[in-house]
Structure 1
Amino acid sequence: MKKGTYPLHDEANFNYQLNRTIMWGGGDLEDIKTIAPLIKTTEDWVREMTALAEGAEAHGRITCAIGYYRMAEFFEADGSPDKIMLYRKSKSLFYEHYRDLFIKTIRREEITYENGKLPVWICLPETEVKDTVIIHGGNDSYMEEFLPVVQRLLSEGIAVYLFDGPGQGGALRESGIYYTYQWEKPVKAILDAYELEDVTLIGLSLGGMLAPRAAAFESRIKRVVAWGIMPNFYDVVLSKVPKELRLLMDQEEKEQVNALIQKKMEADPLVKWAIQHGMFSMNVETPYDYLNRTRDFEMESIGHQITQDFLLMGSSEDHFIPVTLYKRVIDALPHVKSLTYTLYTKSDAAENHCNMGNTALVVDDIIHWIVWAKNK
């Protein structure tokens, strides 16, 4: 796993996603440096990242091409033909490139869920199984970008079940399964399908709310890792908007909210992307409906039902999530068996969202915590 983050763009989210392309997408720093100054809009992003992908593929740099196609897809408009084309291109390259790994080490399956399928990786160590872990992502993740995390856990004798849930990756793109806040339902489907007991559940980013939610309703989960501080998605989404918008939401002024957000979408391409992606993944028609739906994505009202060992991990300079929200998560957990909170900082090279600059450190800490929790 790579380490470090780089100042590549003045806009925080573009900068984060460029670093994500390097750290989690297999991208090359010098490649990314060439396109960063050219990006002002999401359309610029898609154009430049696609060009990088095509060039990398033509020159046989397949790991780079996989990441570039994936990240070109990231900012392409939901529902567009180009988006699904880019998704399928990245995915087909990925599984072709890692073909031997998925013959010898990782089994790919799908389980029936509602009217579609949830894609699952089953990764079983050859040695004694020290623990069983279920992993899922968050608001905009794809299971394929977690391959290094899976391999690290597997190397420690940990069995891993990784899945794209409703609103994520293949479940959304290929089966049209939209987001649900009732995350206990897809987790139950995984537990039932593979007859799992005594598991550790790990959720990243928005998954830092979804995993605790599932744990509140599922006793087969014995340990839960919230890899991201997320007491309430609504409050995170509204953390950087004018108070006027929150007041209008409280007053249920749907038309005014939609008009205000439309103006912001026209002025800011990243706001436009975020709102459009949210509406698509949650299957709603308007910005107001999307914001209203995010109210359901919270763990505070059911936190008292969580009785497992709990690991909460935050980032001191997370540009998405205010770090001060950690206290709300902790205050919502009066009955957990144990509670461990780690805040990663710049000195760890892990201060960014989901500690992207030093994933190896965080995964090692999770492994050590699992051993401690199982043997204490």
Structure 2
Amino acid sequence: MTKASSDRVATPTRRGALAGLATGAGAALLASAPTASALVPAGARGAGASIPSSPTAAASPTPGAMQLFTDPALNFAALLALGGAGFGSSEVGEVLTAVNAINAAGADQQTFTAEFRRWGDRLTATATRHPQTRRFRSLRAAQYYDQALFFVLGSDTPGDEEELYLAGRRSWDEFARLCTPAAITDRVRYEGETSLPVWFFRPDASGRARPTVILTNGSDGQNVDMWTYGVSAALARGWNALVYDGPGQGQLLFVDQVVFTPRWERVVSLLVDWLERRSDVDEGRIALTGLSMGGDLAPRAAAFERRIAALAAMPGTLSPWLGFPPELRSIVTPDKAETNRIWNEEVVPELSQEEAGAIKKRVEPFSIPAMLAARQGRIFTDFWTPAQRIMALDITRVVGRIKCPTLVLDYDDEQFYPGQPRAFYELLRAPKDYELLTAATGAQLHCSPMAPQQHCEVVFDWLEDTLGRGRRP
């Protein structure tokens, strides 16, 4: 980019766009900056496109009791936590008590992180000899640690990120161990010394071959989200469910330091291999779902892995890169040095603390240097490299290769991928269905945070209609 072309985008405009930047798979826009109010929301737990949202959108998609925080990012995260109560992954009273404490302390990323961390610590420290109580306390603790983890890079203790992840992981592992039957855990060799942790849930230990769903998370969701958005529903219908961490997720990101790959079929094919070695898996009925940015990853895998019998994209996503504001995308050119000069000299100095926290979180799954800098309270200096990795996730040209039946979800007031699910659906050449979850039933917003039970009903009704029922336990 020449100096003249870079000058066409004024720094204040970039700053205004950054105020609307979202941060990933389970939280919303960090839009508390004054300039954010006029922006169309973009990005978040996966990132979306800067396209006008549904014409049915109300002035506020979270009116009344749905408005727990005035900051949309904190509000969206809290709604996700609250929505999990229907599956036991939170408690309404616990979440609302935490919300009240955060608001009383002055709601921001610091107080949000600290309060939800306290709730995770409180539940794990409470001794009980009753396995069922310990099981669900562990699940709720995993949820609350996840909430704290999401905003820790914008808090006063960003260096606690790995520690918070591991606390949530221990709680999740304890929950999985206490399930009946216990989840089967393993590590599937991926590349070199890297392996994918997997958790295989079964309705019972009979060994009967059952339909199985592989649940794919988004850009920064944790395993507890997969319980809420699939495992519980699968078990109730007599299906097996496989949860995993892929590159850029969970264990592989926070501990092994492996970033996202655009070749997600390499990940899913290994999981299918693992499943096919099990006698309790009906290998002709293996389904794949993708939540949030997983709605980009899972379709990419299904386009090349022919053993997938059905696919659900939740929502269908073509290009995570479009979730970044156009003013920020415009600074990226083939010239790495010029791109990074603009980033460091024109963009970074104008970032507020909230904006910096947002972009640190959004970029860390694509850049280990960015993640390590963020943990030290600094912002990364190389924007060009992670931008290339994010752009490489564009699946527009491969959607037409998908052969299996596909369900595409969309949401009223979709603030992270507006317009992309319908465009995704139009590109499909396979048998396909499109489902819009609406504000009329409280299922609006990205991934229906207030209505995960409705969300699962739609997805698993469709899976049963497509692949048949599992035998109930």
Q: What TM-score bracket applies, with the shorter chain setting the length?
A: 0.7 to 0.9
Query: Does the 8 A contact of 2:68 with 2:78 survive in 1?
Result: yes
Bigger mean CA offset, 199-208 vs 88-97: 88-97
Offset of residue 169 of structure 1: 1.1
After superposition, the Cα gap between the structure-2 partners of 1:63 and 1:190, relative to the gap in structure 1 and judged at 3 Å, is: closer
Q: Specify which of 421, 442, 454 is matched with residue 326 of structure 1.
A: 421
CA distance in 2: counterparts of 1:229 and 1:261, whole angstroms: 31
CA-to-partner distance for each residue in 1:224-250, whole Å, 9 max, x for gaps? 1101131101112x2xx3x44333325
CA distance in 1, matches of 2:253, 2:322: 24
Matched to 1:43, the amino acid is Q
Please give the alpha-carbon distance, in whole angstroms, between the structure 2 residues aligned to 1:319 and 1:194: 35
CA displacement 1:182-203 (0-9 Å, x = unmatched)? 1101101111122244421101
Which of the residues 28, 34, 50 maps onto 2:117?
50
C-alpha spacing 1:10/1:221, structure 2 compared with 1 (3 Å): same
Is the 1:258–1:288 Cα contact (8 Å) retained in structure 2? no
Tell me how far apart the structure 2 counterparts of residues 35 and 261 of structure 1 sit (CA, whole Å).
Answer: 34
**In structure 1, how many angstroms separate the alpha carbons of the residues matched to 2:210 and 2:274?**
21
- TM-score, normalising length: structure 1: 0.87
Structure 2 counterpart of 1:232, from 319, 322, 343? 319
What is the correspondence of 1:259-278 to structure 2 with a 5 Å cutoff? 259-264=345-350, 266-269=351-354, 271-278=355-362
Offset, 1:63: 4.9
Equivalent residue, structure 2, for 1:16? 76
Answer yes or no: is the 8 Å Cα contact 1:120–1:161 preserved in 2: yes
Any idea what SS the aligned residue of 1:350 has?
Answer: coil
For 1:349, the aligned partner's letter is G
- Offset of residue 284 of structure 1: 5.6
Where do 4+ consecutive residues of structure 1 move more than 6 Å? Answer: none
Conserved 8 A contact 2:296-2:316: yes
Amino acid at match of 2:348: Q
Matches within 5 A, 1:86-235: 86-97=164-175, 99-101=177-179, 104-114=181-191, 115-126=193-204, 129-148=209-228, 149-195=230-276, 196-235=283-322
Deviation at residue 158 of structure 1 after TM alignment:
1.1
Distance across 1 between alignment mates of 2:98 and 2:297: 32
Q: Distance in 1 between matches of 2:287 and 2:174?
A: 30
1:74 aligns with 2:74: no
Unaligned segments of structure 2, at least 5 residues: 1-61, 128-136, 277-282, 370-381, 469-473
Q: Which residue identity is paired with 1:139? A: S
3-state SS of 1:77 partner: helix
Instruction: Using the TM superposition, give the Cα deviation of residue 258 of structure 1 relative to its aligned residue in structure 2, in angstroms.
Output: 4.0
TM superposition shift of 1:156: 0.8
**Do the aligned partners of 1:318 and 1:351 also contact (CA within 8 Å) in 2?**
yes
Change (3 A) 1:66 1:217: closer
SS in 1 for 2:153: coil
Instruction: Quote the Cα distance in structure 1 between the aligned partners of 2:436 and 2:297.
Output: 20
Deviation of 1:9 (Å): 1.2
Moved more, 165-174 or 92-101: 92-101
- Where in structure 2 are the equivalents of 1:312-351 lying within 5 Å? 312-322=408-418, 324-333=419-428, 335-336=429-430, 338-351=431-444
- Secondary structure at the residue paired with 1:300? coil
Aligned to 2:454: 361
1:245 aligned partner: 328
CA distance in 1, matches of 2:232, 2:168: 20
**Aligned to 2:66, what secondary structure does the other structure show?**
coil
Who is 1:288 aligned against? 384
Question: How far off is 1:97 after superposition?
Answer: 4.8
TM-score where L is the length of structure 2: 0.70
Query: How far 1:358 sits from its partner (Å)?
Result: 1.0
Higher-Rg member (1/2): 2
Counterparts in 2 of 1:288 and 1:10: CA distance versus 1, 3 Å: farther
The share of aligned pairs that are identical, in percent, is 23
Q: CA deviation at 1:365?
A: 1.4
3-state DSSP class of the match of 1:221?
coil
What is the rounded CA distance, in whole Å, between the counterparts of 2:223 and 2:327 in structure 1?
A: 37
CA distance in 2, matches of 1:251, 1:368: 46
Q: Aligned-pair distance for 1:39?
A: 4.8
Q: Name the amino acid aligned to 1:267.
A: S
Q: Note if 1:26 corresponds to 2:90.
A: yes
Deviates more, 1:244-253 or 1:190-199: 244-253
Post-superposition Cα deviations, 1:250-295, rounded to whole Å, max 9, x if no partner, equal 575402134444145x3151x3233223433212652333233211
Superposed displacement of residue 166, structure 1: 0.8
Distance 1:18 1:121 in 2: 26
Distance 1:135 1:247 in 2: 34
Name the CA shift for 1:193/1:98 in 2 (closer, same or farther; >3 Å): closer
Shift in CA distance, 273/185, structure 1 to aligned 2, threshold 3 Å: farther
